[in-house]
Amino acid sequence: MKLALFDLDHTLLAGDSDVLWCEFLMRQRVLDPAEFAARNADMEARYQAGTVEAQAFADFYVGTLAGRTPQQWEPLRQAFLAEEIVPRIPAAAQELVNRHLDEGDLVVMTTATNRFITELTALYLGIEHLLATETELDGAGVFTGRTCGTLNMREGKVTRLHEWLAARGHALGKFSSIAYSDSINDLPLLQAVTRPVAVNADPRLAAIAGGSGWEMLHF
């Protein structure tokens, strides 16, 4: 069996889920644009540059969920998927996922964005297995605005992957593995697999991919 790992944002999606979520909430007046828009843009820029601390990045976006239960967020989450996510999934990205699924590969979406925001996207794409940053709920089932466990970001993606495979009785070295990503933040993951593929690569990743002879795709 082959293992196919897909990053989400700017790889399978023409955009960033976290940023799009915040922009959606500002349009819905859940977040105040006057207070939040500049902070959102700054966080996106620092992530793209690979300079933001992983915990600061995760806390910033998971914090948007604080104070409500998953059930209270659900209508907005469904609207977000339909209005912001589905129109931004390139046909070529869906076709690539489908090709791996049709070949019987073990297909996994692995994203730094939190599970609550991304699990509907994974399901829409037909991907059963999702590795994502996990969110904390308090005793009443309300989002605290904090993460829990190892962040699924940078080296954390590799850690989480090894843990997930071990729980299934597998090891990464037993697979012929392929990973798709756009971001320099995913360099540890790309270097851990048999076949790294740069998709819509940012400038830093494009330079590494070109110098290493990696396959490069653009959707």
- Token look-up 């076949």 returns 195
Reduced to 3 states (helix: H, G, I; strand: E, B; else coil), residue 30 is coil
Catalytic site includes residue 9 = yes
- Answer for the pair 47, 115: CB distance below 8 angstroms, yes or no: no
Reduced to 3 states (helix: H, G, I; strand: E, B; else coil), residue 219 is coil
DSSP state of 69: -
Which sign, positive or negative, has the C-alpha torsion 187, 188, 194, 199? negative
Least Cα distance to 24 among 67, 85, 113, 72 occurs for 85
User: DSSP characters for 149-180?
Assistant: SS-SSTHHHHHHHHHHHHHTT--GGGSEEEEE
Catalytic site includes residue 7 = yes
Least Cα distance to 196 among 211, 214, 173, 176 occurs for 214
Least Cα distance to 134 among 153, 154, 114, 117 occurs for 114
List phi, psi (to 5°) of 13: -125, 135
Selected catalytic residue, list 7, 16, 182, 186: 7
Selected catalytic residue, list 9, 182, 186, 202: 9
- Catalytic site positions: 7, 9
